[in-house]
Structure 1
């Protein structure tokens, strides 16, 4: 259960309302009017809470739960405990996410109110703040910057000169955004760095020569960028992050990289300069993508892998250097058999 000191809860809601939000159907239509007040894990939920089961590993916890309601797959319909109302959907976790959003909506600024700037913040007179923008103490908004309605700029964050930020964007504490165009409903977590110089230089025995980084970072809408991640601006072409992409903490994205829609980049992964990821590609934790490569749409790369060659759309790669999943497993089995033979020799 969420700690009320940190999270503001809405509700209560009827199960009929929540089923509609979750795209679920009630196992018993008679339960539509029942009220629930919060979301909670199976093992901690009480009669006033709604929980969910998505992994059959927790089926025993589901059978024993005291939750008043639970979001489950239809195949678990007959496994629920007495008194637990069931919301049935083939995507229980998806349904739970929508229900949890109902109870804990993103606060955001009030897009109908005037901007609220802390006395401890600095907003250049040439900056433009939309309705309901909140600027926290220590934050800086430089000349020519535009912040869309309902945005929030966290403590000590910096929005650079002429940066354009869409509506309802959240910028966390101590983050910095420069040389960038940012879409709507983007979340930039604390410590993120966007728009700094890319790592571009010409090698020279007399001393490396810096190549001016003259591009931008262009970020689509509904993007999330995890804490302490960095996105370099382009050399001349832009660095581009597509709509709906989610970037975990401590991710590095080099200059000129182009990431498609709906991609997932897990913690400590890195994409070197001028590489591209197609729509809905996914990188596991600590994956490295070398420069000037293309990872096709829908491709997946397992954690700790190092990608040295292009990857076809929909392919699954793993290992270092990364190879197709089937080849990786064959190699692993072969090595294990060789080790076993050597041990018996």
Structure 2
């Protein structure tokens, strides 16, 4: 698909600086872009590359509009990039409607209209599948589940019994939802397994990556609120609640009964202990360990996680520890000499 820069600006609601009639045929990263491509800058660290790229045009924020290049200026370059990829490159997959003969569907299950249920799918007793749902090969859905309209579940995903999944949810391959939480009571010699009799609820417009596990509640609900996006290889334990429109990045682990607010970002590798509360609009930096409550509107970093400005000061000290150790040794020797001289005076 070929568009003029002006046409692209009109599509995303941006402004052209430079030649509005230049032809754009593709979208590429700033290093790979060639003539005919449009690229974007959404991170300041790439600004130095703006004069090196071979792209015919660049999507930038208003603060870069004075650069002598063909520019598409908008307030959110990353969002504009996503919309243009969808316009010019992305082809929404289509699925053959119907139920594959190899699938095993309970007679008590309810199946909506225009579904695509592919090879070797299992659907349990009294489970309801909504309209236009796509179940890829080898998806397992247990008894008494509900799958909302327009949801897509990719191959080999497992949905345990009594799980509720909303509309327009995407669940990627090998993810497990509704498995038992890790709950054991010590009896003095061994551990007695606590029955996990709650459910798991995934609200509308949630995306869940591959190889992620979301446990059912011991009692009550484990719940992922609407609009939240969960990356691959995440573990969410029993009775966790994650608020609306949060971002949970790869390799995050959230222990049981933790409450995560809305618009929270947990960066890669973050660990959250159980029974704590993280407020709304919080960001926790990568590889951090959160062991206590975090109030609203904070940025935390480190293990244990601390407010980011305080942790940055700690990092500065950590870098100087070898020199500080040597300096302390010299001070100790000087003190020993002073003490020895005082004893001689006595």
TM-score, normalization by structure 2 = 0.85
Distance 2:7 2:75 in 1: 18
Pairing partner for 2:168 from 185, 197, 200: 185
Q: Residue 325 of structure 1 corresponds to which residue in structure 2?
A: 308
- Tell me: CA distance 1:129–1:43, structure 2 relative to 1, closer, same or farther (3 Å): same
Q: Residue 110 of structure 2 corresponds to which residue in structure 1?
A: 128
How far the C-alpha of 1:88 sits from its partner, in A, is 0.9
Distance 1:108 1:167 in 2: 17
Q: Residue 107 of structure 1 corresponds to which residue in structure 2?
A: 92
- Tell me: CA distance 1:248–1:39, structure 2 relative to 1, closer, same or farther (3 Å): same
Bigger radius of gyration among the two: 2
Q: Does 1:171 align with 2:153?
A: yes
Question: Match of 2:58, SS?
Answer: strand
Pairing partner for 1:154 from 107, 120, 136: 136
Q: Residue 216 of structure 1 corresponds to which residue in structure 2?
A: 199
- Tell me: CA distance 1:170–1:14, structure 2 relative to 1, closer, same or farther (3 Å): farther
Distance 2:315 2:158 in 1: 44
How far the C-alpha of 1:332 sits from its partner, in A, is 3.0
What per-residue deviation string (whole Å, max 9, x for no partner) do you get for residues 228-286 of structure 1?
Answer: 11000111210010111111111110111000011111111111111100111121222
How far the C-alpha of 1:60 sits from its partner, in A, is 4.9
Distance 1:60 1:331 in 2: 30
Distance 2:75 2:215 in 1: 40
How far the C-alpha of 1:35 sits from its partner, in A, is 5.4
Note the residue ranges of structure 1 that are not aligned, 5 or more in a row.
Answer: 1-10
Question: Match of 1:195, SS?
Answer: strand
Note the residue ranges of structure 2 that are not aligned, 5 or more in a row.
Answer: 331-346
Pairing partner for 1:26 from 1, 9, 16: 16
Distance 1:106 1:289 in 2: 38
Distance 1:339 1:56 in 2: 33
Distance 1:272 1:106 in 2: 38
- Which one is further off, 130-139 or 290-299? 130-139
Q: Residue 73 of structure 1 corresponds to which residue in structure 2?
A: 61
Question: Match of 2:232, SS?
Answer: coil
RMSD: 2.4
Q: Does 1:38 align with 2:26?
A: yes
How far the C-alpha of 1:225 sits from its partner, in A, is 1.0
- Tell me: CA distance 1:103–1:220, structure 2 relative to 1, closer, same or farther (3 Å): farther
TM-score, normalization by structure 1 = 0.85
What per-residue deviation string (whole Å, max 9, x for no partner) do you get for residues 35-78 of structure 1?
Answer: 54432223333444332122343335433434343311233334
Pairing partner for 2:209 from 226, 248, 257: 226
How far the C-alpha of 1:219 sits from its partner, in A, is 1.0
**Would you say how many aligned residue pairs link Structure 1 and Structure 2?**
327
- Which one is further off, 322-331 or 93-102? 322-331
